[in-house]
Structures are given as C-alpha cells and as structure tokens.
Amino acid sequence: MSDPKKRRPLRSELWFNDLSNPEMTAIYLEHYPNYGLTLDELQSGKPIIGIAQTGSDLSPCNRHHLELTKRVREGIRSAGGIAMEIPVHPIQETGKRPTAMLDRNLAYLGLVEALHGYPIDGVVLNIGCDKTTPALLMAAATVNIPALALSVGPMLNGWYKGKRSGSGSIIWQARQQFAAGEIDAKEFLKMAASSSPSVGYCNTMGTASTMNSLAEVLGMQLPGSASIPAPYSERARISYKVGERIVGMVHEDLKPSDIMTREAFENAIVVCSALGGSTNAPIHMNAVARHLGVELTNKDWDAIGYEVPLLANIQPAGPYLSEDFYRAGGLPAVIGELLRSGLIPHPDVMTASGESFAALYRDCQIEDRDVIHPLSDPLTAKAGFVSLGGNLFDDAIMKTSGISEEFRSRYLSNPEDPNAFEGPVFVFDGPEDFHKRIDDPSLAITPESLLVMRGAGPIGFPGGAEVVNMRPPSYLIKQGVHDMPCIGDGRQSGTSGAASILNASPEAAAGGNLAIIRDGDRLRIDLDARRVTLLLSEEEIAKRRDALLASGGPNNPQSQTPWQEMFRKSVRPFAEGMIIEGADSYLDVGNTTVPRHSH
Ligand code: FES
Ligand code: MG
C-alpha cells in the first residue's frame, strides 16, 4: 500500500487531467459531460470507480444488481468517488446455449479491455450467477487495479409440497422421477419453478454459492457479504459499504495481487471442502490464480483440501438451503470454526477490508448446529476433491462429499479392496447421444456398468457441458438404482450431488484416450491410488491410437459461431483453468502499461 499523499497520478487523470497533453485531455473529456457530468468533477482528481454490471433481463440470477447498484453508487459518491457502470457480456447459467461456460472467457476479455482502455481507477465486481464470479475475478486479476466484489446474494428458500426445493438439485431429482414415470411434464415444471421464490442466485451450494463464498474467502468481498440472501435489507446496506470501501482501496492502492495470493487460494481450498463446494470451483479458481501468476493445480486441491471435513449441511450434500445457511451464521461461521481449530493454513492474509482474515472471522460462531455442523461432529470426515490420473486421462477430479451411501455400499465396500472397483463401460458421445440411448433396454446396462461421457470438454462441446452426472436408465431407477459411476471429459452442475469423475483432461476432442475407449472395455477406479485405469494392453491402446490418427482424429462437431471457433483454437484444458492460451502472460496490465492515444 502506498502513502496516499505521495501517490502517483490516478489512471483516470492520465485521461482527464494530463497537463502535459491538453489536446488529448480535451478529446477524452469531450463526450462524458453529455449526460450531465461536469468538467469540474471529471478533473477533480476523484477516483473513477467502474461497476462491472452483470445484471440484466437476460441474467435473472444477477438482475437484482440493477437495484443494488443504486446503493453502490451512493456509497462511492459519499466517499468521494465517481461511479461509471460497465456493461458485462451476459453469462446466464441456465439460459445460455450451448453453455454459459463458453462465454466466461468472452466476458473476461471484454472486461479486461474495458478496465484497461478506459479511465477506471478501481472496480466493483457485481458477482453472482456461476460464471460471472470467475469471469470478473479473472479480469480483475489481469488488470490488477483495486477491485472489490459484491455478491448479489442467494435466493430465499424454495418450497415444494412442504419440503425445501433447491435450485438445480430439484431438477436432478425430478428428472429421475420423470424417467420413472412418477411425475408428468406439468409437475416437473412446477417443481422447477418452486425453487426460484425471489431475486438472487441459486439457493443451493452449487457453483454460484461456492464461487461467491470463495470470492469472500480470497479476501475480495467484505466480510459476511457472500451469504446474505439477495432480498434482505442487509444486502442493500452492504452494497453501500462496498461503494464506500472501493474508494478507500483506490487511495490505499490495495490491488487484487495484494489480496489473492497463493496463501489466500490455499485458505479457499480448505473452506471449499467444508462447504461441499462445486466441482467447477477448481477450474475457476485455477484460472483466477493463473491470471495473477499464482501456480495452482488440481493436485493442490487434493493435497490441501481432501482431508477437510464437510460442515455445511446444504443441498446437494444435505437438506438445507442458503437462507437457512445465513441464519445459521453463514460463511463467517464456517470460517470461524475452521480458524479456531487451526485448519485455515494462512490466517494472517490481507483482505479487501484492510484487515487480516483472522481478525475478521475469528469470533464468528455457528448459530444452528444442524445447518452448520461443528468440527467435532462433521457430516463427512474427508470432504475435499481427489485428483485422479492414469492411462485414460492425466487429470480429473471427484467430489468425495458427493459419495452417497448407496454408491458406497454398491461400489466401495469390498473389504479386500475398499476404495476401488471396476466394471465394463458404456460410452456416450455427448449429451444428445446420452438422452437418445440411455433408456434403450438393448444396451443392457446393469448396476455394475460404468457410464462414460466424452465429447463434452472445452473443445469438444465447446465450453464443456454439464452432463457427466448421468442418471441411470429408467428401468434401473425403478429397481432403486439412483447412483452409478460416471466418468467423463465434461463437467457437472454444482447443484448435482453426484460423485462423478469429471473435468478430465486431455479431453477426447483433443485426442485423449477417452477418444479410443469402447463399449465393454473395463475400467478400474482406485480412489486411494488416485488412479483410473483402462484395462487394455499397451499394444491395444497404441493400435487404437494409430487408428484414431489415421482416421483424421476425433470427429468434433462444427462450430456454430465465430466465437466458438476462436474459443476452441485458444482454450487450455480444464486442469489449467480453461483459460485462453497465453492470456496468463499478461499480468498487472493496468499498472504496467498505458494504452496508446488514437487521435
Ligand atoms: Fe444462475 Fe444458478 S443459474 S446462479
Ligand atoms: Mg450449471
């Protein structure tokens, strides 16, 4: 942090107040007064605060930001700043086809250009729906100007027939009931709609709640901000405080790289396990880290997070939802519990509030020990991700907190070989193939079968489809089989509790061995050894690889838009955060480079 009195000029002053270059200053000032800003304001040396606006009609999960932004603006103004809203490319998780994940990097690129190329001194990141949080954190990381995230907050609890109805989780449940003929299409819709009772993002511990929580653990949100439900008055009050604080951060020159250090990421990995966080988190967090020049791999997630117990009894891991979580003390209570027992590896890291992590959360207590379990009585002893390798792929993860009793008793209870199993595979080429064939009785899928999904990775889909959590065939569901082993190069929704092995890289579309696996091949999964083995001889694997090459490689579908084409040519695998090739060589660009003049 620099002494504010001896500060270098603000970035915005290089546009609006450059005494050495009155000709250019005049051009930059020319149009901003046309909606009412005065020249005096713009030349006052007050920090200009961007508000990266992800709320829009297309983005229902983040739409409440349009309201909250009014309070943010008032906070900025009262602390002596000037607010300028920056529209962010929409990334709505459930509305965008083929997947919002494809557009995470597009929104990232757009925001990097906006923050770098305009007179912005600091930025409020309006986070919420799944991919908005990583896209905005990634951009803040690359540009590295003071940034403070504001979560839009989760929805209130949904209810259906007297039971909690959770975003996404109710869909996976209804899909099984629909497949078994227990409900009709009308009831399916009713169940889905019941999970969305208010403004805000998904009320389960899906990717949105996970990433908003981790943004706070990283130190990029004010303490307590992540868990406040969207409609609560406290949400509007913290929005005002965010506006005030970001102006202070600009004066202190407190940047993302001062906050999102390797140590902060390690803390986040620990908290992610205790929350039962989404399998999308490692992809996004590894991406944010790379844009800061911080090394972070899936092996780190396993080494640091695997043995951390599950404390949050929230769907999909438990019965409760975000509103219950907030009343039970929310994220601060989970962090407080972990801090007091020494499980947070780096309690002294700096946060956006200007205080250390430990100082903020040390005294936060659990208010309801059924919703948030204490460490003395965890829901699962080891709840983190395992990072798997082998001859089918180099890198994939599995969320162990998602292993159900049914799954454990069927696949992981052999006393001779307790954490391993093997079986014949059925291979599906993308979600369309799965939906078309899964209920075909001639496939003769049994509970011993392993379901494999390929062609669902960053290049193959493109963007990576959330389809690895495959449901069993309807005839098996009717017999009481709900959880089968699923393996694939795609992702799964954070709202799914399935214990899939997913995010595998290299993906089939990039020539990984998932491309050569066939129906009936056998796989051995050994969780203790962290290995998935395709039980074929090396000669057979080599023969199939040669045949794949001779046929011209994997048969990937055509791109449908220019961006899809560009994305596929530039994307790195999930294990490397699915970032744009080479983008991580641009570090700190808001401080080390000044864009050229055009006129
Ligand atoms: Fe937007 Fe879940 S779909 S937060
Ligand atoms: Mg999703």
pLDDT digits (tens, 9 = 90+) for 138-195: 999 999 999 999 999 999 999 999 999 999 999 989 988 998 899 999 999 999 999 9
pLDDT tier, 418 (very low <50, low <70, confident <90, very high otherwise): confident
pTM score over 0.80: yes
Q: Where are the beta strands (DSSP E) in 88-176?
A: 122-127, 147-151, 158-160, 163-165
CA distances from 391 to 303, 399, 541 (A): 21, 20, 9
What are phi and psi for residue 531, nearest 5 degrees? -130, 140
Q: Which amino acid is at 22?
A: P
Q: Where are the beta strands (DSSP E) in 152-191?
A: 158-160, 163-165
Separation of 336 CA from ligand 2 center, angstroms? 29
pLDDT tier, 7 (very low <50, low <70, confident <90, very high otherwise): low
- The bound ligand whose nearest atom lies closest to the alpha carbon of 210 is 1
CA–CA distance, 567 with 581 (Å, rounded to integer): 10
- The bound ligand whose nearest atom lies closest to the alpha carbon of 199 is 1
CA angle 144, 147, 153 (to 5 degrees): 140
Q: Is the pLDDT of residue 496 over 90?
A: no
CA–CA distance, 573 with 580 (Å, rounded to integer): 10
Q: Are residues 103 and 89 in contact, defined by beta-carbon separation less than 8 angstroms?
A: yes
Which distant-in-sequence residues (6+ apart) come within 8 Å of 187 by Cβ?
Answer: 174
pLDDT at 2: 43
Q: What is the ipTM of this complex?
A: 0.96
CA dihedral 131, 285, 266, 247 (to 10 degrees): -60
Q: Where are the domains of the chain?
A: 46-157+197-362, 386-551
- For all residues of the chain together, what is the average pLDDT? 96
Q: Does the beta carbon of 206 lie inside 6 Å of ligand 1?
A: yes
pLDDT at 438: 96
What are phi and psi for residue 488, nearest 5 degrees? -175, 175
CA–CA distance, 452 with 426 (Å, rounded to integer): 6
CA angle 136, 140, 142 (to 5 degrees): 115
Q: Which amino acid is at 236?
A: A
CA dihedral 163, 167, 170, 173 (to 10 degrees): -140
Q: Is the pLDDT of residue 1 over 60?
A: no
Q: Does the beta carbon of 91 lie inside 6 Å of ligand 1?
A: no
What is the pLDDT averaged over residues 70-92?
98
Query: Could you read off the pLDDT of 258-310 as tens digits, one per residue?
Result: 999 999 999 999 999 999 999 999 999 999 999 999 999 999 999 999 999 99
Separation of 496 CA from ligand 2 center, angstroms? 9
Q: Are residues 218 and 265 in contact, defined by beta-carbon separation less than 8 angstroms?
A: yes
- The bound ligand whose nearest atom lies closest to the alpha carbon of 172 is 2
Q: Does the beta carbon of 230 lie inside 6 Å of ligand 1?
A: no
What are phi and psi for residue 505, nearest 5 degrees? -135, 145
Q: Does the beta carbon of 588 lie inside 6 Å of ligand 1?
A: no
Q: Does the beta carbon of 129 lie inside 6 Å of ligand 1?
A: yes
* From 58, 59, 94, 278, mutation site for ligand 1 pocket: most ligand atoms within 8 A of C-beta: 94
pLDDT at 460: 97
Lookup: tokens for 99: 């997947």
Q: Do domains 46-157+197-362 and 386-551 have the same CATH topology?
A: no
Q: Give, to the nearest 10 degrees, the angle between helix 233-252 and helix 65-78.
A: 40
pLDDT tier, 401 (very low <50, low <70, confident <90, very high otherwise): confident
Q: Does the beta carbon of 130 lie inside 6 Å of ligand 1?
A: yes
Q: How many residues does the chain have?
A: 599
Of 7-16, 423-432, 557-566, least confident by mean pLDDT is 7-16
Alpha helix positions (H), 317-472 = 322-327, 330-340, 357-361, 405-411, 430-437
Largest CA distance in the chain: 80
* From 56, 57, 93, mutation site for ligand 1 pocket: most ligand atoms within 8 A of C-beta: 93
Lookup: tokens for 59: 């983005």
Which distant-in-sequence residues (6+ apart) come within 8 Å of 305 by Cβ?
Answer: 269, 270, 272, 273, 384, 385
Q: Does the beta carbon of 151 lie inside 6 Å of ligand 1?
A: no
Separation of 291 CA from ligand 2 center, angstroms? 23
Lookup: tokens for 84: 């300028």
Lookup: tokens for 539: 């000669």
DSSP-based three-state secondary structure for 465: coil
CATH H-level superfamily of 46-157+197-362: Response regulator (3.40.50.2300)
DSSP-based three-state secondary structure for 129: coil
CA–CA distance, 376 with 365 (Å, rounded to integer): 14
Q: Is the pLDDT of residue 480 over 80?
A: yes
pLDDT at 402: 78
Q: Distance between terminal CA atoms of the chain?
A: 35
* From 56, 129, 205, 495, mutation site for ligand 1 pocket: most ligand atoms within 8 A of C-beta: 129
pLDDT at 380: 93
Q: Does the beta carbon of 199 lie inside 6 Å of ligand 1?
A: no
CA-proximal residue: ligand 1, atom 1 (nearest): 129
Separation of 345 CA from ligand 1 center, angstroms? 30
Query: Could you read off the pLDDT of 199-226 as tens digits, one per residue?
Result: 999 999 999 999 999 999 999 999 999 9
Separation of 93 CA from ligand 2 center, angstroms? 5
Q: Does the beta carbon of 208 lie inside 6 Å of ligand 1?
A: yes
Q: Does the beta carbon of 304 lie inside 6 Å of ligand 1?
A: no
Neighbours of 560 (CB within 10 A): 11
Q: Which of 16-20, 442-446, 449-453 has the highest mean pLDDT?
A: 449-453
Separation of 495 CA from ligand 2 center, angstroms? 8
Question: Considering just the CA atoms, what is the radius of gyration of the chain in Å?
Answer: 24
What's the distance, CA 327 to chain centroid?
24
Closest atom, ligand 1, to C-alpha of 168 = 2
Q: Is the pLDDT of residue 8 over 90?
A: no
Q: Which overall architecture, per CATH, does domain 386-551 show?
A: 3-Layer(bba) Sandwich (3.50)
Separation of 95 CA from ligand 1 center, angstroms? 9
Q: Does the beta carbon of 578 lie inside 6 Å of ligand 1?
A: no
Separation of 96 CA from ligand 1 center, angstroms? 11
Lookup: tokens for 251: 């004066």
23 burial class (0-12, 13-18, 19+ CB within 10 angstroms)? exposed
Q: Compute the 3-state secondary structure of the chain and give helix, strand, coil in percent, each to the nearest 5.
A: 40, 15, 45
pLDDT tier, 6 (very low <50, low <70, confident <90, very high otherwise): low
CA–CA distance, 203 with 532 (Å, rounded to integer): 34
pLDDT tier, 494 (very low <50, low <70, confident <90, very high otherwise): confident
Evaluated on CA atoms 458, 459, 465, 470, the torsion sign reads negative
Residues with CB under 5 A from ligand 2 (ion): 93, 466, 493
CA–CA distance, 575 with 468 (Å, rounded to integer): 16
pLDDT tier, 4 (very low <50, low <70, confident <90, very high otherwise): very low
